[in-house]
Amino acid sequence: MDLSVEGKVYLNGSLNNCCIGIEDGKISKIKKILKSENHHYFGNNLIIPAGIDIHVHFRDPGMTHKEDFSTGSKSAAFGGISCVLDMPNTIPQTTSVQNLKEKIRMAGKKSYVDFGIYSGITNNNLNRISEIKKYCNGFKLYMGGSTNSMNFDNQNLKLLQNINFDNKPILIHAEDKECLDNNKFKEKNLMDYIRSRSSECEKKAIYDIIENLKGNNLKIHICHISSSEGINLLKKFRNITCGVTPHHLFLNVENQKKNQSFFKTNPPIRQNFEREYLFKCLQNNVIDVIESDHAPHTFNEKSIEFNEAPSGIPGVETMIPIFLYLVHKGKLSINKIVKLFCEKPSEILDIPKGKIEIGRDADLMVVDLKKTCKINQDELHYKCGWSPFENFQAVFPKHVFIRGKHLISEGDLILNKGFGKYIGE
C-alpha cells in the first residue's frame, strides 16, 4: 500500500469516518482503521471524489494567448477537478486522426490533471468515424455557430444512426443554425443577444435531435442547456443526458448592467425566470451534469464593442467551489454535488473515476466547508485574468489527489506539468 488517507469519507451516499488505502494509483482498501507509512489524517474534513469537467476549451493549439493546457489544467486542479475533456474547436480543429494524436501528445506534456479529447463531427468526416473513434473519448457536434465551430447540416443527423460509435458520447451544441440565421442582427447588448439567439433556437435543435435520434443506442448529451423550453422537451427522454453551466445557473441579463460583452456566451445567459427554472430542474434531478464550458478570452478581446466581442467565459476553477459554498449554506446536499460533478460524468465517459470505490482511480479532494472565501480573479490560475464570478462566495478544496498523488496541498501545487495522463490509454 503506497499511502492512506483518513477523514470523513463520502461512501455510497453518506459520510463515514474511515480510511482509504491507495496502491498503484487505485483505491485498494476502505476500512475503519488503516494506516500506511505515508498516512494523511484530515480529521473532520470531507473527503469526496475529485470532479470531472466534461466540457472545457483550453484553446491549445492555435489560441494559446487565451489559455493552454498548462494554465487550464492548473486552474482545474485548484478547483478540485482531476480530469477534463477538451473540445475540438481549436486551430486546427480536432477532426482527424492526425490532429487528435498531436493534441494528445501536446496535452500530455503540459497537463497537470488527467484529460480526454473530443473529436468534432462535421459534414466531411462522417465516413472516417470508425478510425477517429479509436483516438478520442467522445464527439462534439455543433448544430449552430459558436467560436471557431465546425459545419454540420441538420439533415445529416439521421446518418449518425448508421455509425457505430462504440458507446462513446456525442455531445451536442443545440442551437438551430437556420433559426440563428433568421434572427441575426447587430446586437448592442445582452438583451439583443437573447433575441438573436432565442430559446426557440435551442428548442428547435433539441426537437430535431429527439426526432432523428430517439430510440437508438447512441449516447447523446445536450451541452449547456439554457432555457425552460429546451429542458422541458428533454424531460420525457431520460436516455438523453443534459448539462448546465454555472453561468446559466447563477447569472441573468437583468443583473449584468456593466461590461456586458464579458457576459456574452453561446447559448446566452437569459432572464432570471429561466435561471430559476434551471436551478429548480437541478434540484429535481432533471439536470445530469454540471459542466463549466470554460471558454476564456483575454480582457482586451472582451473589452471591445458588444457586437464584435467573442463569445465565451471562463469557469473551470470556480465551478465546484461555488457549489461547495451552497453545501455550506445548506442549499444543496453533498450527495447532489458528487452526483453532478463526479458520478454522472464518470458514467457518461465510462472511466474509472468519480467514485470512492475499490478499483477506481484514487482521485480525491479534501474540503473544509467552514473555510469560505470570496472569489478574487487575481488569485485564479487560468490565463485570461478575469472571472464573471468575482466576489462570489466559495469553498476551495484544501487538498487534491490524482491517482493517489498529492497534487494540491493547502494552496501549493506539488506535482509538475505533464503529470496528467490521457484517459484513453
Q: Which residues contact 408 (CB under 8 A, 6 or more apart)?
A: 77, 78, 397, 398, 399, 400, 414
Q: What is the CA radius of gyration of the chain?
A: 21
Q: What are the distances in angstroms from CA 146 to CA 175, 177, 310?
A: 10, 10, 9
Q: Which residues contact 103 (CB under 8 A, 6 or more apart)?
A: 60, 61, 86, 90, 94, 117
Query: Do 67 and 382 touch, CB atoms closer than 8 A?
Result: yes
Specify the DSSP class assigned to residue 297: -
By C-alpha distance, which of 319, 293, 317 is closest to 382? 317
CA gap 390, 56 in Å, rounded: 20
Cis amide prior to 267 (ω within 30 degrees): yes
Which of the residues 114, 176, 293, 368 is marked catalytic?
293
- The residue type at 215: G
- The residue type at 107: A
288 is catalytic: no
Where do we find the cell 487575481?
Answer: 378
Q: Where are the beta strands (DSSP E) in 154-247?
A: 170-173, 220-222, 241-244
Question: What's phi and psi for 147, nearest 5 deg?
Answer: -60, 115
Query: Do 137 and 100 touch, CB atoms closer than 8 A?
Result: no
Q: What is the set of active-site residues?
A: 293
